[in-house]
């Protein structure tokens, strides 16, 4: 087995990627504009294959997987999968989707989605002759794997958001109460100063004749 190395694709990989895509009958003209979505595997320093990873909100999708040397495919997939999990974690993805048919991915837990789970498929990936270039397949061709319990995380986030909103309401109410008290204080103080000034003026008027004598 040659020494394998996984890295992100660069524009320097375009010639090798285009040759790979054309051989697999993928639309190279569309995919070349998304070269940085691809992860590349090198075997003993030579280009040996690639896989695309697209992330939309909390979902990741693997696409356009192909190899120049299929003898390294499964070993490369193991390294790709390690990288993909890190990418998904960094982007907060809960679930990974694909339409690849290699038994390798099913052995790693990818399964056809249930009727409820398929409704979570991002709209960007529905009814496509794929904008990323993957061959058009039926909706039933999807495989998926949950990385994190989306429902549990959403419930926690919803609860935290609810607590945050409640705290925000309490803080707003407290600020409003403080503002009301301050306004009342300023009003009373203003009246107090007014009456004090009025009393001083009246005192001065009353005392003026006396001061004249």
Domain boundary among 148, 174, 192: 148
Say what the pLDDT of residue 130 is: 47
Is 158 found in the same domain as 141? no
**Measured in whole angstroms, how far is the alpha carbon of residue 58 from the centre of its chain?**
6
Say what the pLDDT of residue 42 is: 95
Q: Any idea what the CATH number is for the domain that residue 41 is in?
A: 3.40.630.30
Cβ count near 40 (within 10 Å): 22
Burial 185-204 (b: 16+ CB within 10 A, else e): eeeeeeeeeeeeeeeeeeee
Q: Residue 110 and residue 62: Cα distance in Å, rounded? A: 12
Rounded to the nearest 10 degrees, how much is the dihedral formed by the CA atoms of 64, 66, 72, 74? Answer: 40
Rounded to the nearest 10 degrees, how much is the dihedral formed by the CA atoms of 136, 142, 147, 151? Answer: 110
Is 77 found in the same domain as 172? no
pTM of the model: 0.66
**Nearest partner of 94 among 165, 153, 10, judged by Cα:** 153
Q: Residue 112 and residue 125: Cα distance in Å, rounded? A: 16
Say what the pLDDT of residue 174 is: 80
- Report CA-CA distances (Å) from 208 to 79, 129, 196: 100, 99, 18
Query: Over the stretch 165-210, which tens digit does the pLDDT of each residue have?
Result: 777 777 887 878 888 888 888 888 887 888 788 778 777 777 766 5
Is 130 found in the same domain as 31? yes
How many separate domains does the chain show?
2
Is 161 found in the same domain as 108? no
Low-confidence ranges of the chain (pLDDT < 50): 129-139
Range of the domain at 191: 149-213
Is 187 found in the same domain as 140? no
Is 125 found in the same domain as 172? no
Domain boundary among 148, 166, 189: 148
Is 173 found in the same domain as 160? yes
Is 63 found in the same domain as 22? yes
Is 103 found in the same domain as 19? yes
């Amino acid at each position: 087995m040659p020494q394998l190395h996984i890295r992100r694709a660069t524009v320097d990989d375009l010639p090798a990627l285009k040759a790979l895509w054309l051989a697999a009958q993928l639309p190279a003209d569309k995919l070349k504009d998304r070269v940085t979505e691809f992860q590349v595997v090198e075997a003993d320093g030579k280009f040996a294959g690639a896989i695309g990873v697209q992330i939309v909100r909390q979902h990741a999708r693997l696409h356009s997987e192909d190899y120049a040397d299929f003898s390294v495919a499964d070993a490369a997939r193991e390294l790709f999968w390690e990288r993909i999990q890190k990418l998904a974690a960094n982007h907060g993805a809960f679930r990974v989707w694909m339409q690849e048919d290699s038994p390798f991915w099913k052995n790693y837990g990818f399964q056809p989605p249930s009727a409820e789970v398929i409704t979570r498929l991002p709209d960007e990936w529905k009814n496509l002759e794929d904008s990323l270039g993957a061959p058009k397949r039926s909706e039933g061709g999807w495989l998926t794997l949950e990385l994190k319990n989306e429902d549990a995380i959403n419930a926690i986030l919803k609860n935290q958001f609810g607590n945050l909103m409640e705290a925000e309401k309490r803080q707003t109410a407290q600020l409003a109460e403080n503002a009301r008290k301050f306004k009342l204080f300023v009003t009373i103080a203003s009246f107090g100063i007014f009456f004090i000034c009025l009393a001083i003026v009246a005192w001065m008027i009353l005392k003026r004749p006396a001061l004249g004598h």
